[in-house]
Structures are given as C-alpha cells and as structure tokens.
Amino acid sequence: MSIVVEHLSHIYLEGTPMAKVALRDVNLIIEDGEFVGLIGHTGSGKSTLVQHLNGLLMPTSGKVYVDGVDLTDKHTSLRAIRQKVGMVFQYPEHQLFGETVYEDVAFGPRNAGLGEQEVEARVKEALGMVGLDYDALKDHSPFELSGGQKRRVAIAGVLAMRPAVLILDEPTAGLDPEGSADILGKIQALHRAGRVTVIMITHSMEDVARMATRLIVMEHGGVVFDGPPREVFAQVDRLKEMGLGVPQVTELMHELHSRGLPVQTNILTLDEAEAELVRALELRRNGTV
C-alpha cells in the first residue's frame, strides 16, 4: 500500500487576513514497508502534512492518493481510508474517554462496524502489541493509569484498527527515558514484523538515525532533504542552519575529523562509532598516518 502526494499545498484560513501557507508543493511517494522519519523545526509543516495522509485536512491544491484512491475525490470514503492509515497524535492520552480501557481501545474497531467477537480479538491483540496485560487492565478506567500506560492504551486504540500505515506525531514527547525507549521498541518491533509502514514525526535525531529507513526533512512547508538517514545526516552544516542538528555521535565524528583524526563521518550509532574509532586509532598507532 503506497501513499502518493502530488503538488500538495495547504493554506490555513485562506481568503482571510490571517491566511498562512503551511505547505507548498510537496511531492512524495511512500512505499510499503518503509520507516519514514519526519523531522523539521516547529511550524515547518510536518503535522499539517501527515494530517493530509488520512484526509483529516484537505489540500488547498494538489492530490493525495492512498493505495491508488484519490482522497480529494468527494466520493472517497474517508472512514475507510482512516482505518488503513492510523494516526497517533501528539499526547494521544489526552484523547482517552472510555469508561474502561477495553471501551476506549474498542472505539475504532466498533466504528468500523465489526462484530463484538472481532472487536474483542482486536482489543486483545492491540493491547498485546503495546505490551499491556489485557486481563489485568481491560476493566480499569484509563484515567487511573500512569502516564506511560495511558499513552500505550491510546496507541493501542489506533493499532486496534489494524492500519497498514501508522503515523505517529512525537510518540515519546513527555515520557521518561525508559517509557520512551519501551514505546519506540514496540513500534520498531511492529515495523520489523512487517505489520505496518511507519511515518514518525520526531525531534530526536538519535531515534530516527537508529530506526528510520528514510528521512524527510521539512522547512517552511517544503521538503528540503529526502533520503536514507546516512545521506541526510551528511548535511551537518545545513541541518544546523535549520536549527535541527544531527545525532550526537555523528557530530562527534565530524568534530574529530575536523581536528585531524582520520575517521569516517557517516556514523549514526554508538556501535558504528566504536568500531570506527578503534580502526582510526589503530591506524595511528601503527604509524601509517
């Protein structure tokens, strides 16, 4: 299932004095199985862009196709599209409303018109995916849970629709390091199992460097870079100019390189950095440099 975005532009409050261009001429094709990291400064249009991918916002001009279906066509069932393209908003726990965890997670599948048996199976599966104990929690009020658990229930509420594409807007914002690593791990596991294509908005360069297969960088409503993280993070200066930056290890390697240590700079993770440093230091000890 692919998502195609053609010449997409969006203007908020068009035709009023407060009109604001949020997206200008964005073109993208997102293929099945990708893990897309979407980064950009606040106000660069990331959130506006992803809201077009399931028809929550309609383009001012341009087209969006999901699985070949034109979302701007009046006859398109947006409900059906939203079952396929699941969206987890920022702080999704602020949208919990169910009396019980079960009721809340069941909201999506029920709206899809599934039978109660199927709904139950979906709820069980979704809570399992986010690592929550179905039997222990299903009858609890979601408001009694801890912050991290609430977030997981909210994410389960989207996963219960079995979306083929999962869009996440800063899924770890406001969580402690452990909770955050846990949620990212669950997302990565879903992606690795081939269950979902992931599009994730984040401000953590480390997270995208580790997880994403493709990185899209936005600025002023347009796409500036689009490619594998290793290529994109090579643009250290340009990224810094945009107020973004690169993973800390990448920056460290750049710094070492500029001070004369012969290391590769296209390093994204700690393990890669370790291997590269050992290699460079051995070269130096052997006196070849």
Partner 1 sequence: MALFKSITIGQYIPGNSTIHRLDPRTKIIGTVLLIVLLFMVDTFWGYALAALAIAAIVHLSEIPPRLVLRGLRPLFVILLLTVSLHLFMTEGDPIFRFWIVEVTWQGLSRGIMMGVRLALLVMGTSLLTLTTSPINLTDGIEGLLKPGKRIGIPAHELAMMMTIALRFIPTLLEEAEKIMKAQMARGADFQGGGLLQRAKSLIPLLVPLFVNAFRRADELAIAMEARGYRGGEGRTKFKELHFGRRDAIALALAFGFVAVVGLLF
Q: Which is nearer to partner 1, 18 or 193 (CB)?
A: 18
The C-alpha torsion from 117 through 78 and 138 to 115, rounded to 10°, is -10
What residues between 217 and 246 interact with partner 1 by CB under 8 A?
none
Q: How far is the CB of 221 from partner 1 (least distance, A)?
A: 15
Q: Which is nearer to partner 1, 35 or 89 (CB)?
A: 89
> Which residue blocks in the chain are alpha helix, DSSP H?
46-52, 78-84, 101-111, 116-129, 134-137, 147-159, 177-192, 205-211, 229-232, 236-241, 248-258, 270-285
Assess contact for 159 and 171: CB atoms under 8 A.
no
Q: Which is nearer to partner 1, 24 or 150 (CB)?
A: 150
89 makes contact with partner 1 (CB under 8 A)? yes
Options 68-76, 106-114, 247-255, 275-283: segment touching partner 1 (CB under 8 A): 106-114
264 makes contact with partner 1 (CB under 8 A)? no
Burial 117-140 (b: 16+ CB within 10 A, else e): eebbebbbebbebbebebeebbee
Q: Which of 1, 4, 21, 112 binds partner 1 (CB under 8 A)?
A: 112
Q: Which is nearer to partner 1, 89 or 233 (CB)?
A: 89
CA distances from 274 to 231, 255, 281, 284 (A): 20, 15, 11, 15
What residues between 154 and 213 interact with partner 1 by CB under 8 A?
157-158, 161
What residues between 10 and 69 interact with partner 1 by CB under 8 A?
12-13, 16, 51, 54, 56-57
DSSP states of 160-199: TT--SEEEEESTTTT--HHHHHHHHHHHHHHHHTTS-EEE
Q: How far is the CB of 254 from partner 1 (least distance, A)?
A: 39
Q: Which is nearer to partner 1, 7 or 94 (CB)?
A: 94
Options 23-31, 108-116, 185-193, 263-271: segment touching partner 1 (CB under 8 A): 108-116
Q: How far is the CB of 24 from partner 1 (least distance, A)?
A: 17
DSSP 8: E
CA distances from 265 to 6, 229, 280, 286 (A): 34, 13, 12, 21
Q: How far is the CB of 40 from partner 1 (least distance, A)?
A: 19
Q: How far is the CB of 92 from partner 1 (least distance, A)?
A: 7
Residue ranges that bind partner 1, judged by CB under 8 A: 12-13, 16, 51, 54, 56-57, 79, 82-83, 86-87, 89, 92, 94-97, 107-108, 111-112, 143, 157-158, 161
